[in-house]
């Protein structure tokens, strides 16, 4: 087991994005997640390429990689948040979310990794992370269901098979009142999740034929607490909670 009860998610801890802002809960909600402690100056750093390949391959099915920069292994992640972000984007075209730099072992271990490391690998070994690029697969319900040691490539069959099994075995939680649809189905007053954009909004109005393109709409939240415009193809998959 992963060190938490079956009705508790390993992500029920405070998570901070690389830029220092709280991580939007919608980033991980109802997704299969591969959590990886990453570093920019490691011999395994080219695994970023494989991680981004997974993101592109499975992202539209409700999957995301979650990178956790860590400097505990030979000081191989020494950069500032800005340097880390630039390196990942410019060198490997990373599009998946990154957390703030954190510790994965020892007394300063982040609570997320306290939960993750309680889960054993395929050989039955739990405990400390061995090195950069250890991988933890988490189900949509927030339970750890796989652990892969650093030298297992992201695109190794063991990893991809586990991801595909998790995606096939689970569907979004279907909380009361939510239904699947596409952007063209949305009406003003609906609450909408757009998994491809990792965003949730209260739609107050819709701009059809966005920028004169009949295949595009803009979903807009214009409330006292937030103004947000989300352009989307009319066939973009969304989850809708209808206005009562």
Query: From CA 151, how far away is CA 104, in angstroms rounded?
Result: 17
From 2, 42, 70, 88, active-site residue = 42
CA angle (65 as vertex; 193, 171 as ends), nearest 5: 50
Active site residue 70: no
Sheet of 226-233: strand order equals: 205-208, 216-223, 226-233
Q: Is 41 helix (H, G, I), strand (E, B) or coil?
A: coil
Listed residue (189, 104, 186) closest to 147, CA to CA: 104
Query: From CA 122, how far away is CA 142, in angstroms rounded?
Result: 19
State the residue for tokens 């937030």. 226
Rounded to the nearest 10 degrees, how much is the dihedral formed by the CA atoms of 228, 229, 234, 236?
A: -50
Task: List active site positions.
Answer: 42
């Amino acid at each position: 087991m992963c060190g938490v009860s079956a009705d508790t998610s390993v992500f029920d801890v405070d998570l901070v994005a690389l830029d220092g802002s709280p991580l939007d809960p919608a980033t991980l909600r109802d997704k299969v997640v591969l959590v990886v402690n990453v570093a920019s100056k490691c011999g395994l750093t080219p695994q970023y390429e494989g991680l981004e390949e997974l993101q592109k391959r499975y992202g539209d099915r409700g999957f995301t990689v979650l990178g956790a920069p860590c400097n505990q292994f030979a000081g191989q992640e020494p950069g500032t948040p800005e340097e880390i972000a630039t390196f990942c984007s410019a060198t490997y075209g990373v599009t998946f979310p990154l957390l703030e730099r954190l510790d994965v072992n020892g007394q300063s271990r982040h609570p997320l990794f306290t939960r993750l490391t309680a889960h054993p690998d395929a050989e039955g070994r739990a405990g400390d992370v061995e090195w950069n690029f250890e991988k933890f697969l988490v189900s949509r319900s927030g339970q750890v269901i796989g652990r892969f040691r650093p030298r297992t490539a992201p695109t190794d069959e063991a990893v991809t098979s586990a991801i595909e099994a998790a995606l096939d075995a689970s569907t979004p939680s279907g909380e009361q009142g939510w239904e699947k649809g596409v952007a063209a189905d949305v009406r003003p007053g609906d609450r909408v999740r757009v998994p491809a954009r990792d965003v949730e909004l209260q739609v107050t109005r819709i701009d059809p034929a966005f920028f004169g393109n009949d295949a595009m709409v803009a979903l807009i939240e214009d409330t006292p607490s937030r103004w947000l415009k989300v352009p989307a193809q009319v066939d973009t998959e969304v989850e809708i909670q209808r206005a009562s």
